[in-house]
């Protein structure tokens, strides 16, 4: 039996609540483990802020850091990237006419096992720069098509197609979370796409309602099922 909109919304809300509770259990719960004295914790924190050059105070500050918190963030990012990769692979493979395979490569700055060690090694430099150079906040990612880094070696058309695949992938994931496909707005994406990619965008995405804008109505000549509107002198009218 097909669920109605309210049932899908309720399921999505329950799923989000479950995910947030799991994250709180890992991060928020671990924050309380091992604490024996709140006053002592606050003193260590104050010491680390007021005496940056004091090795003992900084060691105490490092002792309050929970690697499990960083590990939880990394784990959720890995799961997100893994799921998104499966979706964008299919989208981009179709968008490129089977010519390109798209993949996000998650670059972790550190692992749980050596997180504290990296913090200790970079402590002197971090104190001088007043920043923290080790941790999940320093993570990054690269996007590859057929093993080639698109940021460095991709053409403008490839980069535009990559962004389009990512947006459509995010929309699909959002639809899964919300229980219904989202409305998609794409501004001026047609001009730099070849005919294969334009055809896919116009006619192969049926889950969401999509609004596309461009300055050349001929780019919509391949549209099989949809409507074209023209804005002229501030007025919108249906294209004949």
pLDDT of residue 153: 94
Under DSSP, the state recorded for 224 is S
- Name the residue among 148, 184, 178 with its Cα closest to residue 165: 184
pLDDT of residue 35: 47
- Name the residue among 104, 87, 95 with its Cα closest to residue 193: 95
Q: In angstroms, how far is CA 60 from the centroid of its own chain?
A: 34
pLDDT of residue 44: 46
CA distances from 90 to 42, 158, 166 (A): 51, 16, 11
Q: How far apart are CA 70 and CA 73, in angstroms?
A: 5
Greatest Cα pair distance in the chain: 77
pLDDT of residue 67: 76
Q: How far apart are CA 76 and CA 68, in angstroms?
A: 12
The pTM for the full model equals 0.70
Walk along the chain (240 residues) in steps of 10 and give the mean pLDDT of each run.
Answer: 66 71 56 45 46 51 72 90 95 91 94 83 88 90 95 89 92 88 88 84 82 88 87 87
pLDDT of residue 63: 62
């Amino acid at each position: 039996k097909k669920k109605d909109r309210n049932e899908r919304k309720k399921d999505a809300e329950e799923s989000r609540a479950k995910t947030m509770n799991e994250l709180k259990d890992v991060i928020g719960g671990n924050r309380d483990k091992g604490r024996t004295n709140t006053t002592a914790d606050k003193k260590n924190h104050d010491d680390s802020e007021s005496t940056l050059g004091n090795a003992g105070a900084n060691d105490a500050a490092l002792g309050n850091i929970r690697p499990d918190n960083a590990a939880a963030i990394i784990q959720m990012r890995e799961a997100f990237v893994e799921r998104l990769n499966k979706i964008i692979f299919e989208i981009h493979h179709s968008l490129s006419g089977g010519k390109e395979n798209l993949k996000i490569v998650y670059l972790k700055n550190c692992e749980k096992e050596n997180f504290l060690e990296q913090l200790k090694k970079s402590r002197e430099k971090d104190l001088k720069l007043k920043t923290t150079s080790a941790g999940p906040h320093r993570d990054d990612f690269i996007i590859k098509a057929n093993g080639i880094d698109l940021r460095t070696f991709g053409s403008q058309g490839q980069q535009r197609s990559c962004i389009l695949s990512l947006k459509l992938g995010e929309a699909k994931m959002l639809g899964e979370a919300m229980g219904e496909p989202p409305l998609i707005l794409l501004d001026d994406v047609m001009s730099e796409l070849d005919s294969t990619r334009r055809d896919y965008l116009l006619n192969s995405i049926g889950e969401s309602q999509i609004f596309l804008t461009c300055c050349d109505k001929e780019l919509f000549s391949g549209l099989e099922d949809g409507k074209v509107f023209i804005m002229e002198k501030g007025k919108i009218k249906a294209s004949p």
